[in-house]
Structure 1
Amino acid sequence: MRHIAFVVQDPKKMADFYTSRFGMELFHTDPDGSHFVTDGYVNLALIQQRLDGDVPAGFNHFGFHVESVEPYLDTLQPRPALRGGDRPFAEYRAIDPEGNWFDLSAHGFLPPGVA
């Protein structure tokens, strides 16, 4: 597991908390204000809550960094879905038997160009 995401009301305040208290490093900010911090191993996504959205604040999803996504595509039910749009992170979204979202990524959870 390399990625955990929370929907938050104030991503900057949350990022400041994790960087100042736990030494995490801010490595990306989305245009919508979402902030992404890392300790060098685990990436923490602090997703901006949208007032017009239907996603509540709190835990949202977690992610696995895998060598290849292909072996999981036919073994997980329902089949993982390709994440569309301009997402620079995980390639696929899936759900566990209890309905918890998780991501699968072969390229990892840092934006392209960030080591």
Structure 2
Amino acid sequence: MSRQETAAESPPHVLIFPLPLQSHVNSMLNLADLLCLSGLHVTILLSDYTHNCLLLHANLQSRFSRHSGFRVATISDGLPADHPRVGERIVDIVLSLKEVGGPQSAA
């Protein structure tokens, strides 16, 4: 099977990587829902911390269970578990994500 035939059979796939703040994540989850309703496959990439918060305080699995093309992937934000991740400490998240999520060189 050629690459073009495979691409024609599967719907486009969108990767969403929101800034790990509640308002950004909520907006991107709404966008993911709309994209899934349009027939696209969607993967949302969340920090481990954000994902755990959603598991505790939102019914993420139930909300997206009707969308077979929806996936959640996680990445470490590189911060210790006791980091507050609020207020003026938001810059820490961005800098840490830049460090842990940047290009990796082969040793």
Q: TM-score, normalised by structure 1?
A: 0.26
Looking at CA atoms only, which structure, 1 or 2, has the larger radius of gyration? 2
- Structure with a larger share of its residues in helix: 2
Q: TM-score if structure 2 supplies the norm length? A: 0.27
